[in-house]
Amino acid sequence: MNRLGARYSAEVCGDGNFVKELGNVARGGTIEFDASSDVFNGYDYILTNAPDGVAIDSVTGMLSGRVSADAETGEYTMIVSLRDDGGFIGQSAKLMINVT
């Protein structure tokens, strides 16, 4: 466990879970999800392992984009992490999508 504990993951994923299922998204389809935190302020949002075309706004925590038409199909476990001014990457939440 890191210094932020599990609060961010539970806040984003809901019901104490650490994985949020976002469902199926076709290649060329759009995705939007608000990964912002009401608890942790002043952090940058970092997104890893997203399909091509999907990004996160580092200030607002809004994940969005159009999945690239040539993105690999299959399941993606995207990780949203919080980073402080010192560069420390803190608590992460997992967001699952299936690109079809």
DSSP string, 34-76: E---SS--S-EEEEESPPTTEEE-TTT-EEEEE--TTPPPEEE
d(CA 81, CA 48): 8
- Angstrom distance (rounded) from CA 46 to CA 33: 14
**Predicted pLDDT at 5:** 61
Give the model confidence (pLDDT) of 42-82 as tens digits. Answer: 899 999 999 999 999 999 999 999 999 999 999 999 999 99
Model confidence at 1, pLDDT cuts 50, 70, 90, reads very low
CATH class of the domain comprising 7-99 = mainly beta
* Helical spans, DSSP H, in the chain: 7-13
Q: Is 0.85 surpassed by the pTM of this model?
A: yes
Q: DSSP class of residue 16?
A: T
Predicted pLDDT of residue 75: 97
